Amino acid sequence: MTKPTTDHDLLIQLHEQIKQVRIDIKDLGDNLSARVFDHEQRLRRLEMWGAMAIGALTLIQFAGFGYLLNLLK
């Protein structure tokens, strides 16, 4: 970075740097939103599979209990 010769040059350099910082912050926010959305989709899928697994285990448990009741008769 060269040394500004006047206040006007300094203001122009600061203005350009601030514009770049604003662009970088916007890009960061957009990327963060996309990543959060991706994680939400994965969590929904995992929750669905977990609920299905619990349901399947419940059915297996009731089937086994019914089998034991038939053995005791």
What is the pTM (predicted TM-score) of this model? Answer: 0.47
Q: Output the pLDDT for position 43.
A: 94
pLDDT tens for 8-52 read: 888 889 999 999 999 888 887 777 888 888 999 999 999 999 999
55-62: average pLDDT: 88
pLDDT at 2: 59
pLDDT tier, 73 (very low <50, low <70, confident <90, very high otherwise): confident
Q: Which residues of 44-68 are buried (b: 16+ CB within 10 A; e: fewer)?
A: eeeeeeeeeeeeeeeeeeeeeeeee
